[in-house]
Structure formats: C-alpha cells, structure tokens
C-alpha cells in the first residue's frame, strides 16, 4: 500500500492524480486536519507532525509514503529521509517529497544533477512560486532551481491565508480576490517582467488553479503539481518495485483524518465518483 500524507485535504489533488496513474494500486491517505494549516506553523512543529503522520501510515502497512504537502516537504522531508528513517525501525521504508519532481520539471534537470548543465545553464526563464509562508521562507524552490539553472529568476510569493480559506470552504469571490492580490504582489516584485511560468507550490492551490490562470498574464504557464507527482512516482516505482511487490492487486483506497470526520466531509472541495468517505484516524 502507498501512503499519501497532507496537512489537510489539499493532498487529495495529488492522491487523485496518483489514483488515475495507478488505478490498481492500493492507497491510504492521511490528512492531518486536526493540526492544519501547517503553512504558518513553526518548523519544529511541522517536522514533528510530519514524522508522526508518516509513521502512522507506516504502522498501517504503507512501505512508501508520498508527502503531498509542500510545507511538510520543504521543512521535514530531508531530515526524515537522512536522519530519522536510517535510525528508526523503518529502514526498509521510504518517504518521498513533492518538491524534487517539481524542480525537475521546472529546470528540465534530473534531481541527481546539482550543477548547472548545458543547455539549462543558459535558461533565463522567470518563475513565480506561490506557496505557504513556511515554504517560501524555507527558500527551497529558489535554492534548488538556481543550483541547476543559475540564470533563472525565481520569485516567491507567500499566500499566507489561502490554504486555510480553501480548507474552510470560503466562497469563490473571496478566494478570487485573495488570489488576485497574491498574483498582483508577485508581479510587483518583477518590475514589469512577466513570469514564463508559475509553480502552484501548495497542494490546495490546484483547487483554485482557474483563479490563478485568470489573474496571471495569459502567456504564463501554470505548473501544477498533481500530474508531476504522478509521473515522478511512476518513474520511481519502475526503479523500486520492492515498494509495491507485496501489494494485493485491487483498487483499495482508504481516507483517514485526524480531524472531525463530519466537518471534513462537509468542507471537501474536491471529489470524484466512488471516493470513499473519510474515516477517523485510529492507531493500528
Ligand atoms: N498542504 C500544504 C502545502 O502543500 C498547505 C496547507 C497548509 O498550510 O497546511 O504546502
């Protein structure tokens, strides 16, 4: 079984794309609604909560967990992979973040390549990154993109309130106004230049992608992560079949939340036919 973790239900955008890509693999989703949003939390809290979430999914039988959440990825993924996992009882398990595949697509450079290469070395694209405060403060998108493509210009815009309002089911006109303000703030940082593309670096933002597209200049391509995550997992599993070898064939899907099940179901802004209802998280 493959685990997908997010601070709330934004990660369902990623889960949905993974399901479409792998209709016969069982998935287990955990949304940490009780502690969402993560985006304005202290880094230490994000690390602790992410580790707890990943461990919960391991305990439920997932050998591999995809962090749908950019905030969790930017703050916690590296330390989970490099420090926690090797010293835990889960050494044959793994956790994958969502930022590496996004950077690969943005820079057209494999993650393993950390030096500028020809012709990427001469790429001069301007990239706008929209993400939570914590993700923008981490500087991870800028750092990882510029490592590979030093001439690219990366401009980050924190959208501090957006994920929380989406999660709370705010009306579209309120979200539209907020997205318009964030886009205007990003464009103001660019002194008249237009971004060639924009990264929606938060699992919740694909839910309002049409609003971003409405406010961004028409020439700006929107890079949204769910499809990128699905393709990345496809490549990963081809090289690491061991993570799915024991999986029973079938399309089992279970959704768990640390929050209030009724409230989560009421506020859900993404759905698809046949989606199972959320269940309260129980430790196994
Ligand atoms: N899911 C988180 C992300 O992708 C954002 C929501 C939150 O702040 O919890 O960054």
Choose which residue among 4, 5, 7 to substitute to test ligand 1 binding: the one with the highest number of ligand atoms within 8 A of its C-beta.
7
Which CATH number belongs to the domain containing residue 209 in this structure? 3.40.50.1860
Query: Is this prediction's pTM over 0.85?
Result: yes
What is the count of structural domains for the chain?
2
Which residues, in sequence order, are CB contacts of 209 under 8 Å at separation 6+?
Answer: 200, 222, 224
Predicted local confidence at residue 237, as pLDDT: 96
Predicted local confidence at residue 250, as pLDDT: 66
pLDDT digits (tens, 9 = 90+) for 199-233: 999 999 999 999 999 999 999 999 989 999 999 99
269 or 97, which is more confident: 97
Decide if pLDDT at 261 tops 80. yes
Of the three residues 178, 201, 224, the one that is the final residue of a domain is 224
Domain with 46, as residue range(s), is 2-98+226-280
Question: What angle, rounded to 10 degrees, do the helices at 225-239 and 12-21 form?
Answer: 50
Planar angle of CA 224, 55, 277, nearest 5 degrees: 60
Ligand 1 atom, smallest distance to 203 CA:
4
Whose tokens are 């129980």? That residue is 282
Decide if pLDDT at 194 tops 90. yes
Q: What percent of the chain has pLDDT over 90?
A: 85
Ligand 1 atom, smallest distance to 39 CA:
8
Of the three residues 203, 224, 245, the one that is the final residue of a domain is 224
Predicted local confidence at residue 243, as pLDDT: 92
pLDDT digits (tens, 9 = 90+) for 7-23: 998 999 999 999 999 99
Cα 187 to averaged position of ligand 1 atoms, centre (Å): 22
3-state secondary structure of 5: strand
Choose which residue among 4, 5, 10, 31 to substitute to test ligand 1 binding: the one with the highest number of ligand atoms within 8 A of its C-beta.
10
What whole-number distance in Å separates Cα of residue 206 and Cα of residue 223? 9
Ligand 1 atom, smallest distance to 132 CA:
10
Name the residue at shortest CA distance from atom 1 of ligand 1.
69
Q: Is 247 a catalytic residue?
A: no
- Confidence tier at 156 by pLDDT (50, 70, 90): very high
Cα 246 to averaged position of ligand 1 atoms, centre (Å): 31
- Confidence tier at 251 by pLDDT (50, 70, 90): low
Among 214, 205, 266, 280, which residue's Cα sits nearest to residue 12? 205
Catalytic residue among 62, 69, 149, 247: 69
Catalytic residue among 77, 149, 202, 247: 202
3-state secondary structure of 262: helix
pLDDT digits (tens, 9 = 90+) for 51-81: 999 999 999 999 999 999 999 999 999 999 9
Is 30 in contact with 3 (CB distance < 8 Å)?
A: yes
Q: Is 77 a catalytic residue?
A: no
Compute the radius of gyration of the chain from its Cα atoms.
18
The mean pLDDT of the chain is: 94
248 or 186, which is more confident: 186
Q: What is the DSSP string of 103-170?
A: HHHHHTS-TT--S--TTGGG---EEEEEE-HHHHHHTHHHHHHHHH-TT-EEEEEE-TTHHHHHHTT-
Among 240, 245, 152, which residue's Cα sits nearest to residue 199? 152
Residues 264 and 158 in one domain: no
Which residues have C-beta atoms less than 6 Å from ligand 1?
6-8, 10, 36-39, 69-71, 132, 135, 163, 202-204
pLDDT digits (tens, 9 = 90+) for 107-144: 999 999 999 988 777 788 999 999 999 999 999 999 99
**Alpha-carbon distances, residue 228 vs 17, 84, 181, 225, 264 (angstroms):** 9, 26, 27, 5, 26
Residues 52 and 63 in one domain: yes
Name the residue at shortest CA distance from atom 2 of ligand 1.
69
How much of the chain is helix, strand and coil, in % rounded to 5? 45, 15, 35
Decide if pLDDT at 155 tops 90. yes
What whole-number distance in Å separates Cα of residue 120 and Cα of residue 100? 17
Mean local confidence (pLDDT), 230-240: 96
Which residues, in sequence order, are CB contacts of 245 under 8 Å at separation 6+?
Answer: none
Residues 19 and 155 in one domain: no
Residues 205 and 238 in one domain: no
Number of neighbouring beta carbons within 10 Å of residue 136: 24
Residues 242 and 199 in one domain: no
Of the three residues 224, 252, 272, the one that is the final residue of a domain is 224
Mean local confidence (pLDDT), 32-36: 95
What whole-number distance in Å separates Cα of residue 162 and Cα of residue 43? 19
Cα 125 to averaged position of ligand 1 atoms, centre (Å): 26
Decide if pLDDT at 246 tops 90. no
- Is residue 230 classed exposed, middle or buried when 0-12, 13-18 and 19+ CB atoms within 10 A define those classes? buried
Which residues, in sequence order, are CB contacts of 64 under 8 Å at separation 6+?
Answer: 2, 3, 93, 94, 95, 96, 240, 243, 244
């Amino acid at each position: 079984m493959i685990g997908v973790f997010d601070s709330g239900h934004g990660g369902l955008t990623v889960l949905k794309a993974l399901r479409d890509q792998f209709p016969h693999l069982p998935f287990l989703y955990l949304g940490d609604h009780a502690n969402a949003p993560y985006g304005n939390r202290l880094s230490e809290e994000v690390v602790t909560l992410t580790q707890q979430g990943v461990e919960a999914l391991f305990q439920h039988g997932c050998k591999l967990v995809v962090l749908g959440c950019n905030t969790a990825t930017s703050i916690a993924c590296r330390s989970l992979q490099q420090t926690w996992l090797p010293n835990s009882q889960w050494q044959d398990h793994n956790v994958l973040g969502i930022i590496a595949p996004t950077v690969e697509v943005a820079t057209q450079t494999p993650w393993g390549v950390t030096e500028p290469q020809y012709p990427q070395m001469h790429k001069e694209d301007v990239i706008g990154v929209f993400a939570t405060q914590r993700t923008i403060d981490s500087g991870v998108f800028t750092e990882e993109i510029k490592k590979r493509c030093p001439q690219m210009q990366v401009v980050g815009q924190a959208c501090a309130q957006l994920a929380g309002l989406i999660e709370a089911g705010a009306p579209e006109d309120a979200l539209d106004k907020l997205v318009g303000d964030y886009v205007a703030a990003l464009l103001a940082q660019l002194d008249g230049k237009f971004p060639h593309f924009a990264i929606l670096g938060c699992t919740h933002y694909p839910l309002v992608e049409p609003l971003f597209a409405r406010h961004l200049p028409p020439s700006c391509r929107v890079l949204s992560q769910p499809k990128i995550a699905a393709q990345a997992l496809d490549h990963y599993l081809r090289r690491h079949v061991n993570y799915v070898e024991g999986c029973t064939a079938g399309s089992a899907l279970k959704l768990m939340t640390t929050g209030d099940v009724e409230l989560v179901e009421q506020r859900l802004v993404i759905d698809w036919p046949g989606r199972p209802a959320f269940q309260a998280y129980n430790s196994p």
